[in-house]
Amino acid sequence: MRSTCLIAALLIGVSSGMAHAQRMASLGGELGWSRYVEPRLGTTVDMPAGLFTAPAGTPRRGVGERFATADRRAQMTVYSMRNEAGDTPASFVRKNLRQNRRGLDYDRVTDRFFAISAVAGGRIFYTRCNFDPGRGTIHCVDLAYPQREEKAWDRIVTRISLSLRPL
C-alpha cells in the first residue's frame, strides 16, 4: 500500500495481465463510465466504474473516496480540500513535493492546476489537482497502476484527468 500512495506521499498528504488491460482500454464506452461526485466540497470526475469496482476507503487528505480494481492492481482516489493557505498550484507543489521535480516523469503546473507523474517500483503514480480560487478549494484525483500497462491506461487517465471539475 505504501508504494500505491507515492504521489500522495510526495505531496504529503487492472485486471490481470497486460493483454486484458489493453482490451479494456480499447473498449472505451464499455468501461462503464460514470460521474463520481464528492458532495461536501464538490469535486466531480468521470470514472470507469467497470474497472474501479471495490471501495477502498477514505483519502489520506481532504474529503472523498478511494477506489480499487477488484484485484487491487490499480487505485483511484478522488478528494477535495479547503485551500486554507491560499496556495496557487505552483506554491502548493513547492511546499509539498518531497522530491526534486527533475525526478518526475511528467510535470505540468499552470495557474489553475498541476499534474505530476512518477514511476516507482514498477507502478505509475499520477496526481492532478485543480484549484478553484473563487471557492477556496482544491479538487484532486490520484491514480496508481502497473507501469507495464501504461499504454492501456493512457486514454483512461486522460479522460479522468480532463473531466476533473468543481461542482
**What pLDDT shows up at residue 57?**
83
Range 120-134 average pLDDT:
95
Of 45, 7, 23, the closest CA to residue 144 belongs to 7
Range of the domain at 11: 3-166
Sole residue written with cell 502497473: 146
State what percent of residues in the chain have pLDDT above 70. Answer: 81
- Strand, helix or coil for residue 119: strand
pLDDT bucket at 131, cuts 50 / 70 / 90: very high
Contact criterion met (CB below 8 Å) for 141 and 45: yes
Set of cell numbers at residue 121: 517500483
**pLDDT, position 98:** 79
Check residue 7 and give its pLDDT.
42
Rounded to two decimals, what is the model's pTM?
Answer: 0.82
AA letter at 36: Y
Provide the domain count of the chain. Answer: 1
**Tens-place pLDDT, residues 133-153:** 999 999 999 999 999 999 999
3-state class (DSSP) for residue 73: coil
**CATH code for the domain in which residue 136 is found:** 3.40.1000.10
pLDDT in tens, 44-60: 999 998 999 867 888 98
